[in-house]
């Protein structure tokens, strides 16, 4: 399993790191229960932690071990650990088996500022506090699967997403690169490994390309595929990884804004068939998603616009004006939001991932109705406009950020495509308000009118 999929998310760290606050936010984002181990111990014993600690640390640690074992045996949760929980070898062993542990890092000055003046037994002397901090840093790092500083960082880490300028994948096993042919020309291969070029865009997502890659690849089951390109490239490379030798690991290195904020996150892979887009595919999560914003410097404007439409969609779902953030912050925030949704419903069995379809029912219809002459970015921008109108909400955000204009398309063909959309049958994702998506039905006449407003003439 990748990251926190199928596991608890456990937060380890020193006093004052904010484990309870961050844990509650991560739980809300992922739809998982939140368990604060210290709070659970206090609630059950009816004795405050400082008092339990003063009665004897050895007994407190025994109670902590038993409580954590019980929590880890329960449903997948977000778990805030006590500051000393990872000192126990038994706790560390249980966490290694049942949890994805994130070291929530805080500098000692911030930690002391938060803890000083409290009744915590280990925060009564600044000198002792600093000495304890230094002695535990190594233990936290060794016990953790990842390090983060805030809730968004925990969410990204939980799906092994790294966003950093100049970052490279560095696979730890024999690798093969599947790359967009144009991206390969512009940037070269991201790793020193055999590179297999695929056509740019949707032309890569065909069975013929898949079959060629199956035949060309020379890695064994101990190898990995590195996908280097936009959403179409990660789709086809991930699908090949899912099916080659009954499945090999893969690493996504998205090079478009759409890929970095959306397409490369979530484990959905696939190719197109004569009957429609993405009808052959698999859930196969990349073991890492390596995002370098510097790769966007060569991105054509149409591709950047397509990505910005996904950013606006994410911002509307999150209730945050993410499109106004500086580029790297924007990418980090979007990747974190989608990671939270994906962690709540990894394989689309709970329905929560459906909200990511905001605006896309109309977008897919417009693409089909135009014979795919309308770009995905323009279609999504118009789809978001229609969704806001049907929601009875102001459309300023979409109009100012994306400036959508009606497009030429066959209205009847677009309507037929909308009706057979895999999330269709009158079901749409709308917003009660920004940050509060709802999956609901829309009367046919209202849906047709909304679609017609997006088509020229």
Asked if 14 and 145 sit in the same domain, the reply is: yes
Asked if 22 and 75 sit in the same domain, the reply is: yes
The pLDDT assigned to 425 comes to 53
Kindly state whether residue 382 falls inside one of the protein's structural domains: yes
Within 10 Å of residue 174's Cβ, how many Cβ atoms?
Answer: 13
Asked if 119 and 47 sit in the same domain, the reply is: yes
Kindly state whether residue 426 falls inside one of the protein's structural domains: yes
Both structure tokens of 186: 């512009």
DSSP string, 94-150: HHHHHEEEEEE---HHHHHHHHTTS--GGGS-HHHHHHHHHHHHHHHHHH-SEEESS
> In 3-state terms, what secondary structure has residue 386?
helix
- What b/e string do you get for 377-416 counting C-beta neighbours within 10 Å, with b at 16 or more? bbbbbbbbbbbbbbbebeeebbeebbebeebebebeebbe
The pLDDT assigned to 321 comes to 97
Kindly state whether residue 159 falls inside one of the protein's structural domains: no
| Number of separate domains in the chain | 3
Kindly state whether residue 335 falls inside one of the protein's structural domains: no
Asked if 142 and 214 sit in the same domain, the reply is: no
Q: Going residue by residue through the chain, which has 457 residues, state the pLDDT in tens, using 9 for 90 and above.
A: 789 999 999 999 998 899 999 999 999 999 999 999 999 999 999 988 888 888 888 888 999 999 999 999 999 999 999 999 999 999 999 999 999 999 999 999 998 999 888 878 778 888 888 998 999 999 999 999 999 999 999 999 999 999 999 999 999 899 999 999 999 999 999 999 999 999 998 899 999 999 999 999 999 999 999 999 999 999 999 999 999 999 999 999 999 999 999 999 999 999 988 877 788 999 999 999 999 999 999 999 989 999 999 999 999 999 999 999 999 999 999 999 999 999 999 998 888 899 999 999 999 899 989 988 898 889 999 999 999 999 999 999 999 999 999 999 999 999 988 887 655 456 799 999 999 999 999 999 999 999 999 998 6
The pLDDT assigned to 424 comes to 47
| Domain region containing 74 | 8-152
The whole-angstrom separation of Cα 178 and Cα 128 is 53
Asked if 71 and 134 sit in the same domain, the reply is: yes
Q: What is the CATH number of the domain that holds 94?
A: 3.40.50.300
Kindly state whether residue 282 falls inside one of the protein's structural domains: yes
Q: What is the CATH number of the domain that holds 248?
A: 3.40.50.1970
Kindly state whether residue 314 falls inside one of the protein's structural domains: no
The whole-angstrom separation of Cα 189 and Cα 187 is 7
> In 3-state terms, what secondary structure has residue 431?
strand
Q: What is the CATH number of the domain that holds 385?
A: 1.20.1090.10
């Amino acid at each position: 399993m990748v990251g926190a999929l199928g596991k608890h998310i456990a937060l380890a760290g020193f006093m004052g790191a904010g484990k309870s606050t961050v844990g509650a936010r991560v739980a809300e984002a992922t739809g998982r229960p939140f368990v604060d181990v210290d709070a659970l111990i206090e609630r059950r014993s009816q004795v405050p932690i400082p008092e339990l600690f003063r009665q004897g640390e050895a007994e407190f640690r025994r109670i902590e071990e038993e409580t954590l074992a019980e929590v880890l045996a329960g449903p997948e949760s977000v778990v805030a650990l006590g500051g000393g929980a990872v000192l126990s070898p038994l706790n560390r062993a249980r966490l290694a088996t049942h949890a994805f542990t994130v070291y929530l890092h805080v500098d000692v000055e911030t930690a002391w500022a938060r803890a000083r003046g409290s009744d915590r037994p280990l925060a009564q002397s600044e000198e002792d506090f600093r000495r304890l901090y230094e002695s535990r840093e190594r233990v936290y790092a060794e016990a953790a699967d990842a390090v983060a500083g805030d809730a968004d960082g925990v969410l990204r880490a939980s799906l092994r997403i790294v966003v950093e300028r100049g970052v490279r994948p560095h696979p730890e096993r024999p690798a093969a690169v599947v790359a967009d042919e144009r991206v390969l020309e512009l940037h070269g291969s991201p790793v020193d490994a055999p590179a297999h070029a695929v056509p740019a865009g949707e032309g890569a997502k065909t069975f013929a390309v898949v079959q060629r890659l199956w035949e060309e690849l020379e890695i064994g089951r101990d190898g990995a595929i590195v996908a280097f390109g936009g959403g179409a490239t990660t789709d086809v490379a991930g699908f090949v990884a899912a099916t080659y030798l009954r499945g090999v690991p893969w690493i996504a290195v998205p090079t478009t804004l759409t890929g970095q904020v959306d397409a490369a996150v979530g484990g959905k892979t696939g190719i197109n068939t004569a009957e429609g887009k993405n009808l052959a595919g698999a859930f196969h999560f990349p073991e890492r998603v390596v995002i370098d914003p510097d790769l966007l410097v060569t991105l054509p404007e149409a591709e950047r616009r397509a990505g910005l439409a996904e950013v606006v969609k994410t911002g509307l779902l999150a209730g945050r004006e993410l499109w106004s953030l500086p580029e790297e912050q924007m990418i980090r925030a979007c990747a974190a939001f989608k990671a939270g949704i994906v962690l709540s419903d990894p394989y689309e069995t709970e329905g929560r991932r459906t909200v990511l379809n905001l605006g896309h029912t109309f977008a897919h219809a417009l693409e089909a109705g135009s014979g795919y002459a309308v770009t995905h970015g323009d279609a999504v921008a118009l789809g978001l406009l229609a969704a806001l109108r049907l929601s009875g909400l102001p459309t300023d955000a979409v109009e100012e950020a994306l400036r959508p204009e009606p497009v030429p398309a066959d209205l009847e063909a677009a309507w037929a495509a909308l009706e057979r959309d895999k999330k269709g049958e009158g079901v749409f994702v709308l917003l009660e308000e920004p940050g509060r998506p709802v999956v609901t039905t829309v009367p046919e006449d209202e849906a047709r009118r909304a679609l017609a407003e997006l088509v020229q003439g």
